[in-house]
């Protein structure tokens, strides 16, 4: 097979073969596996393409060829236009970056394939949302897709030490968000199931946050705390209201005093790792953006430009919004912000609109997960994977954010079909 990984090809072939006969089943399998699939299709580093991305592309092609599932649900969604604009701006930015490459930039890392693949990371993210929105179009399918996300998140907790899963706290957060929201908004009747669910939430908190404070680790992951902590805080606030804020502040103050030594230790580790100086990288990102304010320097070109115009030779801005504005300009950042803003707006409207406990739980889980990811993206690349910061691997975890957006479109479609039916029956 040469540079081609035989196990990776076998995995992709099996999933795509299933998709020929049972498209939904293949989508469920892909959702479970995408975060756990670490082998590359090509073992050569410069040509690395991850199996999860290959399967996603294949399933989209199969979906289009079968013509059994239309894009009507996505077209009717309020997310359709923002998603389309984000993709279009990424393509325009790529074209500008290739055609009008700054002659003063050495371009020692510049490759046409890298620029195209960095742009595809935007397209693949939106494609994941499209695949889920078009294939998960029933209540049963929605529940099974949520179960697939939950399985992936729980599996990550138990295999992360044996399998190198990039940015594993992000994958754990999505599964935990659905479990926690289910406990608060649609609690299972079985006491055993409730106990197991509570145990998994606690386990996730211990692994993502607790180990950093009390474990023997000599490193820490600020964005990991933010993504999970922010998710749980938002879900709790939706369920009980912000009246719990004073209690939370008091508990936080007591905890800060009680664990002052651990906090000082983590701050010192953060200082040694350079986390406290990330603002310097963000300044560099805006320096790069200033050379191409509207459409940026193009996806995949950040490293070249920052080596010429920045003060710090880092491959990424270590902040997704800062990276996006440097590579796709203010238009790209505006489009990404629009996608997030519209997602929160749609989700909140759906939450207020339905009395169905399952749909409410899933919607709140999506709101919480998106809020955690949006907050963590200030200090990490949790929305759009960055090519020179492991984008070819980290796509396998950032993609779950876009899967959640696809489920949001599904819920939107389900409620749109229910409301007219209710209106007709009441008129009769």
Residue 421 in this model has a pLDDT that exceeds 70: no
Structure confidence at residue 41 (pLDDT): 83
User: Is the domain of 263 the same as that of 201?
Assistant: yes
User: Is the domain of 145 the same as that of 49?
Assistant: no
Q: Tell me what the mean pLDDT of segment 409-413 comes to.
A: 92
Q: Which of 20, 36, 68 is the last residue of a domain?
A: 68
Question: Hey, which of 11-20, 290-299, 366-375 has the most confident mean pLDDT?
Answer: 366-375
Number of C-beta neighbours around residue 73 at 10 A: 22
Q: Which of 16, 40, 68 is the last residue of a domain?
A: 68
User: Is the domain of 13 the same as that of 113?
Assistant: no
Give the total number of structural domains in the chain: 2
Residue 396 in this model has a pLDDT that exceeds 60: yes
Q: Tell me what the mean pLDDT of segment 144-163 comes to.
A: 91
User: Is the domain of 93 the same as that of 57?
Assistant: no
Buried (b) or exposed (e) across 339-351, using 16+ Cβ within 10 A? bbebbbebbeebb
Question: Hey, which of 60-64, 149-153, 167-171 has the most confident mean pLDDT?
Answer: 149-153
pTM over 0.75: yes
Structure confidence at residue 335 (pLDDT): 97
Q: Which of 73-77, 88-92, 227-231, 353-357 shows the lowest per-residue confidence on average (mean pLDDT)?
A: 73-77
Torsion sign, CA atoms 266, 268, 273, 276: positive
Nearest to 101 by CA among 308, 280, 331, 270: 308
Nearest to 381 by CA among 335, 315, 330, 329: 315
Residue 384 in this model has a pLDDT that exceeds 70: yes
User: Is the domain of 27 the same as that of 156?
Assistant: no
CA–CA distances in Å: residue 278 to residues 4, 121, 263, 372: 38, 24, 19, 20
Structure confidence at residue 342 (pLDDT): 96
Structure confidence at residue 428 (pLDDT): 37
Q: Tell me what the mean pLDDT of segment 295-324 comes to.
A: 86
Structure confidence at residue 74 (pLDDT): 73
As a whole number, the mean pLDDT across the chain is 84
User: Is the domain of 80 the same as that of 189?
Assistant: yes
Structure confidence at residue 418 (pLDDT): 62
Structure confidence at residue 259 (pLDDT): 65
- Over residues 346-373, the pLDDT tens digits come to 999 999 998 999 999 999 999 999 999 9
Structural domain span for residue 314: 74-427
CA angle 29, 31, 34 (to 5 degrees): 95
CA angle 146, 152, 153 (to 5 degrees): 90
Residue 424 in this model has a pLDDT that exceeds 50: no
User: Is the domain of 168 the same as that of 273?
Assistant: yes
User: Is the domain of 324 the same as that of 366?
Assistant: yes
Q: How far is the C-alpha of 5 from the C-alpha of 54, rounded, in Å?
A: 13
User: Is the domain of 30 the same as that of 89?
Assistant: no
User: Is the domain of 89 the same as that of 130?
Assistant: yes
User: Is the domain of 56 the same as that of 115?
Assistant: no
Q: Which of 68, 92, 109 is the last residue of a domain?
A: 68
Buried (b) or exposed (e) across 285-297, using 16+ Cβ within 10 A? bebbbeebeebbb
Please classify residue 3 by burial: count the beta carbons closer than 10 Å to its beta carbon, then call 0-12 exposed, 13-18 middle and 19+ buried: exposed
- Over residues 194-209, the pLDDT tens digits come to 999 999 999 999 888 8
Number of C-beta neighbours around residue 411 at 10 A: 25
Adjacent-strand bridge partners of 42: 4
User: Is the domain of 10 the same as that of 147?
Assistant: no
Q: Which of 62-76, 121-135, 349-363 shows the lowest per-residue confidence on average (mean pLDDT)?
A: 62-76
């Amino acid at each position: 097979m040469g540079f081609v990984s035989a196990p990776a090809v076998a995995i992709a072939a099996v999933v795509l073969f299933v998709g020929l006969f049972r498209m939904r089943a293949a989508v469920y399998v892909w959702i479970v596996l995408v975060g756990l699939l670490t082998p590359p299709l090509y073992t050569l580093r410069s040509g690395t393409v991850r199996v999860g991305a290959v399967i996603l592309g294949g399933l989209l092609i199969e979906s289009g060829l079968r013509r059994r599932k239309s894009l009507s649900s996505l077209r009717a969604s309020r997310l359709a236009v923002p998603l389309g604009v984000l993709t279009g701006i990424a393509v325009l930015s790529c074209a500008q970056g290739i055609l009008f490459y700054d002659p003063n930039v050495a371009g020692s890392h510049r490759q046409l394939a890298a620029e195209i693949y960095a742009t595809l990371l935007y397209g693949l993210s939106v494609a994941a949302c499209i695949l889920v929105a078009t294939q998960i179009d029933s209540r049963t399918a929605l529940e099974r897709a949520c179960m697939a996300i939950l399985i992936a998140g729980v599996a990550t907790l138990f295999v992360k030490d044996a399998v190198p899963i990039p940015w594993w706290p992000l994958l754990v957060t999505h599964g935990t968000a659905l479990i926690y929201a289910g406990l608060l908004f649609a609690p299972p009747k079985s006491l055993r199931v409730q106990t197991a669910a509570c145990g998994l939430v606690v386990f996730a908190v211990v692994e993502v946050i607790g180990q950093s404070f009390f474990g023997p680790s000599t490193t820490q992951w600020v964005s990991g705390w933010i993504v999970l902590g922010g998710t749980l805080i938002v879900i709790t606030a939706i369920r009980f209201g912000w009246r719990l804020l004073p209690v939370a502040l008091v508990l936080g103050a007591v905890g800060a005093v009680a664990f002052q030594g651990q906090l000082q230790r983590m701050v010192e580790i953060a200082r040694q790792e350079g986390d406290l100086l990330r603002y310097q990288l963000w300044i560099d990102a805006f320096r790069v953006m200033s050379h191409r304010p509207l459409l940026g320097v193009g996806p995949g070109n950040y490293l070249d430009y920052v080596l010429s115009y920045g003060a710090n030779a880092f491959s990424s801005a270590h902040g997704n919004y800062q990276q996006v504005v440097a590579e796709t300009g203010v238009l790209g950042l505006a489009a990404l912000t629009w996608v997030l803003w519209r997602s929160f707006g749609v989700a909140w409207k759906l939450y207020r609109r339905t009395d169905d406990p399952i749909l409410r739980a899933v919607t709140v889980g999506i709101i919480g997960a998106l809020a955690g990811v949006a907050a963590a993206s200030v200090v990490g690349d949790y929305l759009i994977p960055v090519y020179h910061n492991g984008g070819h691997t980290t796509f396998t975890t950032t993609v779950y954010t876009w899967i959640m957006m696809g489920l949001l479109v599904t819920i939107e479609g389900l409620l749109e079909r229910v409301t007219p039916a209710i209106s007709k029956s009441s008129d009769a």
